[in-house]
Amino acid sequence: AQSVAQPEDQVNVAEGNPLTVKCTYSVSGNPYLFWYVQYPNRGLQFLLKYITGDNLVKGSYGFEAEFNKSQTSFHLKKPSALVSDSALYFCAVRPLGGGTDKLIFGTGTRLQVFP
Partner 1 sequence: GAGVSQSPSNKVTEKGKDVELRCDPISGHTALYWYRQSLGQGLEFLIYFQGNSAPDKSGLPSDRFSAERTGGSVSTLTIQRTQQEDSAVYLCASRPGGQGDYGYTFGSGTRLTVV
CA atoms within 13 A on the CB side of 78: 26
Find the part of the chain contacting partner 1 (CB under 8 A) among 21-29, 64-72, 77-85, 103-111.
Answer: 103-111
Q: Is 82 in the site for partner 1 (CB under 8 A)?
A: no
Q: Which of 43, 53, 70, 115 binds partner 1 (CB under 8 A)?
A: 43
What number of other Cβ atoms are within 10 A of residue 105's Cβ? 16
Q: How far, in Å, CA of 37 to CA of 113, rounded?
A: 14
What number of chain residues touch partner 1 (CB under 8 A)? Answer: 26
Q: Is 34 in the site for partner 1 (CB under 8 A)?
A: yes
Q: How far, in Å, CA of 90 to CA of 95, rounded?
A: 16
Q: Is 110 in the site for partner 1 (CB under 8 A)?
A: no
Q: Is 31 in the site for partner 1 (CB under 8 A)?
A: no
What residues make contact with partner 1 under the rule CB under 8 A?
Answer: 6, 9, 32, 34, 36, 41-46, 49, 51, 90, 92, 94, 99-108
